[in-house]
């Protein structure tokens, strides 16, 4: 088999075989095929596209290029959830104990964050003592006995994707639906779940800015998952403004706890109920989505979900007193209200800018090596459609340094667009894809 012929075949719009795709992925991962030939192939794929079959072969070739997690010591259907990423997205911290309390098995690996705030693993470290590394035995025991364990990513998952993604980044071939979908799904499949619930974000604060692109990405990932035998569904949800109100690690944990008490923001509550009920369906634990929703709502109102959160935090060595008393969570030394001195209705909030403001406060990482301050961040008070008056704060900023505060406010000033007309609140859930 020659790389030249494979490039030529795709250049002419022909489909690649499983053997050819395996040859490329294995050869590139080992370093036997040079960057320039894989770059040429990526560009040919970019223009000629790939069929579902080719995309599934590529996904599986990347998924099997490194470690693959074997979750078979856990009984029952293991359902994983993945979000394509957004500002203020703390859904995993709400969802994990919620679906565990409903009887599903949550065996999750999560990442640290790069960008606006930390990832789920960083946020969980807001609980003093919380261990994000467990032995394999502890991990399986916790899930079998208590239905829940969330740990940091370990091992070398889908190294082929890491190498290919880096090459796509410098060859202008990132924004191709088949390549994005196979990249995300290869990591999910290597993580070992039987079923996958995807939250595809759409809007100014998301990777996919346009609804048609977010839907196409959701459909591409669902098709791949189902094609390779992992039951997969996707929710397409709004990211034109931060999810909930809090942006920043410990602040988001507080909001997640309030949500598990049934006192969370409307959008975060609706999204978690939607995702949780579909996860119960995927796990085979509900007869229909309506029944699943009722079950989830009961767990929120009876306190069963919050009890499961406490059990989980304690199991992983964290200080569960923080669930009832937020003074046990990291606290920023200063906070100040932020006003726009305008009257009107919020027309738009640039979620990316709010994320950037939280990042400069120290809530997120500029580079993989940066350290983060779990306490700092922003709590917005006004969302799209809300009315504001002069001197009414649109946000509160939690900070540790005056200079960073000034930088964050200069970014936040430009994040809000105010109209003198009344504005309708946007939808949250755009589509459900099976
Ligand atoms: N996220 C990924 O993991 N891969 C892509 O290709 C794009 C976003």
Mean pLDDT of 64-82: 94
Judgement on whether residues 150 and 249 belong to the same structural domain of the protein: yes
Residue 99 lies in a domain: yes
pLDDT band at 349 (very low <50, low <70, confident <90, very high): very high
Averaged pLDDT, 125-143: 96
Query: Would you say the CB of residue 183 lies under 6 angstroms from ligand 1?
Result: yes
- Is residue 312 domain-shared with residue 411, that is, in the same domain? no
For the Cβ of 217 lying below 6 angstroms from any atom of ligand 1, the answer is no
Based on the residue annotation, tell me whether 324 is a catalytic residue of this protein.
no
For ligand 1, whether the C-beta of 326 sits within 6 Å is no
213 Cα–ligand 1 center, Å: 14
CA atoms within 13 A on the CB side of 271: 33
Note whether 372 and 365 are within 8 A (CB).
yes
In a domain, residue 399? The reply is yes
Q: Which domain holds residue 344?
A: 330-419
| 279 shares a domain with 223 | yes
Q: Is the pLDDT of residue 107 over 90?
A: yes
**Residue among 183, 186, 237, 277 flagged as catalytic:** 183
Asked if 112 and 122 touch (Cβ cutoff 8 Å), the reply is: yes
Residues 248 and 350 reside in one and the same domain: no
Q: Do the beta carbons of residue 342 and residue 412 sit within 8 Å? A: no
Boundary of a domain, candidates 294, 323, 352: 323
Q: Which atom of ligand 1 is nearest to the CA of 174?
A: 6
Length reported for the chain: 434
Average pLDDT over residues 45-54: 97
One-character DSSP codes across 157-179: B-HHHHHHHHHHHHTT-S--HHH
Tell which residue, 41, 63, 69, has the closest CA to residue 184: 63
Q: Are residues 350 and 243 in the same domain?
A: no
Instruction: Give 186 Cα–ligand 1 centroid separation in angstroms.
Output: 10
Question: Average pLDDT for residues 104-128, to the nearest whole number?
Answer: 89
Please identify, among 278, 306, 323, the residue that sits at the C-terminal boundary of a domain.
Answer: 323
pLDDT for residue 323: 98
For residue 426, the model assigns a pLDDT of: 92
Mutate to test the pocket of ligand 1, among 83, 160, 163, 184 (most ligand atoms within 8 A of CB): 184
Number of domains in the chain: 3
Looking at residue 368, its pLDDT comes to: 81
Residue 206 lies in a domain: yes
Ligand 1, atom 3: closest residue by C-alpha: 184
Q: Kindly state whether residues 312 and 350 are assigned to the same domain.
A: no
In a domain, 405, yes or no: yes
Average pLDDT score over residue span 45-66: 97
For residue 424, tell me if it sits in a domain. no
Q: Is the shortest distance between the CB of 176 and ligand 1 below 6 Å?
A: no
Rounded mean pLDDT, 349-364:
95
Q: What is the DSSP letter of 327?
A: G
The CATH number of whichever domain residue 363 belongs to comes to 3.90.1170.30
User: What is the structure's pLDDT at 240?
Assistant: 93
Q: What is the pTM of this model?
A: 0.96
> Would residue 183 show up in a list of annotated catalytic residues for this protein?
yes
Distance from Cα 120 to the centre of ligand 1, integer Å: 18
Look up 82 and say whether it is catalytic. Answer: yes
First to last CA, the chain: 37
Q: What is the pLDDT of residue 273?
A: 98
Domain membership flag for residue 97: yes
Going by C-beta distance under 8 Å and a sequence separation of 6 or more, which residues neighbour residue 259? 94, 244, 265, 268, 269, 272, 300
pLDDT for position 111: 82
Rounded distance from Cα 183 to ligand 1 centre (Å): 5
274 and 133, same structural domain? yes
Average pLDDT, integer, range 99-117? 89
Residue to probe by mutation, ligand 1, list 174, 218, 221, most atoms within 8 Å of CB: 174
- What span, in angstroms and rounded, lies between the C-alpha atoms of 242 and 88? 5
How confident is the model over 198-240, as pLDDT tens digits?
999 999 889 899 999 999 999 999 999 999 999 999 999 999 9
CA of 396 to the centre of ligand 1 (A): 32
Give per-residue pLDDT as tens, 156-182: 999 999 999 999 999 999 999 999 999
Same domain (yes/no): 34, 97: no
**Whether residue 295 is found in the same domain as residue 388:** no
Report the atom number in ligand 1 closest to the C-alpha of 187: 3
The answer to whether residues 146 and 248 belong to one domain is yes
> What integer pLDDT is reported at residue 19 of this predicted model?
98
Sequence-ordered strand ranges (E) for 19-154: 79-83, 106-110, 148-152
Residue 370's pLDDT band (boundaries 50, 70, 90)? confident
Q: Whose alpha carbon is nearest atom 6 of ligand 1?
A: 180
Task: Compare 86 and 248 and report the one with higher pLDDT.
Answer: 248
Q: ipTM greater than 0.95, yes or no?
A: yes
Q: Do 335 and 287 reside in the same domain of the chain?
A: no
Q: Is the CB of 165 under 6 A from ligand 1?
A: yes
Least confident span in 203-207, 293-297, 333-337: 203-207
Residue 111: other Cβ atoms inside 10 A = 14
The candidate with the shortest Cα–Cα distance to 50, out of 83, 6, 88, 115, is 6
Q: Residue 115: how many CB atoms within 10 A of its CB?
A: 17
Could you report the per-residue pLDDT of 382-420, keeping only the tens digit for each?
999 999 999 999 999 999 999 999 999 999 999 999 999
pLDDT band at 144 (very low <50, low <70, confident <90, very high): very high
Could you give the CA distance from residue 333 to residue 328 in angstroms, rounded to a whole number?
Answer: 14
* Residues 290, 104 contacting (CB under 8 angstroms): no
CA nearest to 13, candidates 47, 43, 38: 47
Q: Is residue 297 part of a domain?
A: yes
Where does a domain end: 323, 341, 363? 323
**What mean pLDDT, rounded, does the chain reach?**
96
Distance 172 CA to ligand 1 centre (A): 13
Question: Looking at 168, 188, 219, 230, which residue is catalytic?
Answer: 168
Confidence band for 114, pLDDT divided at 50, 70 and 90: confident
Distances (CA, A) of 338 to 39, 47, 412: 47, 47, 9
- Give the domain CATH number at 19: 1.20.970.10
Which of 259 and 369 is assigned the larger pLDDT?
259
Considering the candidates 78, 123, 147, 187, report the single residue annotated as catalytic: 187
Q: How far apart are CA 373 and CA 371, in angstroms?
A: 7
CA distance linking residue 290 with residue 273, whole number of Å: 11
- CATH classification of the domain holding 174: 3.40.1030.10
Q: Is residue 262 part of a domain?
A: yes
Judge if 43 and 115 occupy the same domain: no
Assign 3-state DSSP to the chain and report helix, strand, coil percentages, each to 5: 45, 15, 35
Percent pLDDT > 90 in the chain is 93
The residue nearest atom 1 of ligand 1, judged by CA position, is: 184
Is the confidence at residue 118, as pLDDT, over 90?
no
Question: Residues 10, 78, 81, 82: which is the catalytic one?
Answer: 82
pLDDT for the residue 71:
95
Cβ(206) to ligand 1 under 6 A?
A: no
Q: Is the pLDDT of residue 46 over 80?
A: yes
């Amino acid at each position: 088999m020659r790389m030249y012929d494979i490039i030529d075949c795709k250049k002419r719009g022909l489909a690649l075989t499983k053997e050819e795709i395996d040859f490329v992925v294995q050869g590139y991962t080992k370093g036997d095929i040079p960057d320039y030939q894989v770059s040429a192939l990526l560009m040919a794929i970019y223009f000629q596209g790939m069929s579902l079959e080719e995309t599934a072969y590529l996904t599986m070739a990347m998924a099997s290029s490194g470690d693959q997690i074997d979750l078979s010591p856990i009984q029952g259907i293991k359902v994983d959830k993945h979000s394509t990423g957004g500002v203020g997205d703390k859904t995993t911290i709400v969802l994990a104990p919620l679906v565990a309390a409903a009887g599903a098995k949550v065996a999750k690996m999560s990442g640290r964050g790069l960008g606006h705030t930390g990832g789920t693993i960083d946020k969980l470290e807001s609980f003093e003592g919380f261990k994000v590394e467990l032995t394999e035995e502890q991990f399986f025991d916790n899930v079998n006995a208590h239905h829940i364990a969330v740990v940091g990513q370990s091992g070398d998952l889908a190294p082929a994707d890491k190498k290919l993604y880096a090459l796509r980044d410098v060859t202008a071939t990132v924004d191709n639906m088949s390549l994005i979908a196979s990249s995300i799904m290869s990591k999910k499949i290597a993580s070992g779940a039987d079923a996958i619930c995807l939250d595809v974000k759409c809007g100014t604060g998301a990777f996919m800015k346009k609804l048609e692109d977010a839907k196409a990405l959701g459909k591409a990932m669902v098709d791949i998952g189902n094609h390779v035998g992992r039951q997969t569904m996707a929710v397409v949800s709004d990211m034109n403004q931060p999810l909930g109100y809090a942006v920043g690690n410990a602040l988001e944990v507080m909001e997640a706890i309030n949500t598990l008490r049934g006192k969370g923001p409307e959008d975060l509550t609706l999204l978690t109920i939607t995702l949780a009920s579909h996860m119960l369906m995927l796990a085979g634990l509900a007869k229909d989505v309506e029944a699943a929703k009722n079950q989830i709502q009961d767990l929120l109102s009876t306190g069963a979900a919050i009890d499961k959160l406490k059990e989980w935090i304690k199991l992983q060595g964290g200080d569960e007193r923080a669930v009832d008393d937020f003074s046990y969570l990291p606290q920023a030394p200063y906070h100040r209200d932020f006003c726009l001195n305008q009257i009107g209705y919020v027309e738009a909030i640039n979620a990316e800018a709010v994320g950037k403001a939280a990042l400069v406060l120290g809530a997120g990482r500029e580079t993989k090596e940066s350290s983060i301050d779990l306490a700092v961040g922003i709590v917005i008070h006004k969302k799209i459609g809300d009315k504001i008056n002069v001197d009414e704060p649109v946000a509160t900023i939690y900070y540790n340094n005056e200079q960073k505060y000034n930088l964050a406010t200069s970014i936040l000033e430009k994040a809000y667009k105010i109209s003198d007309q009344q504005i309708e609140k946007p939808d949250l859930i755009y589509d459900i894809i099976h």
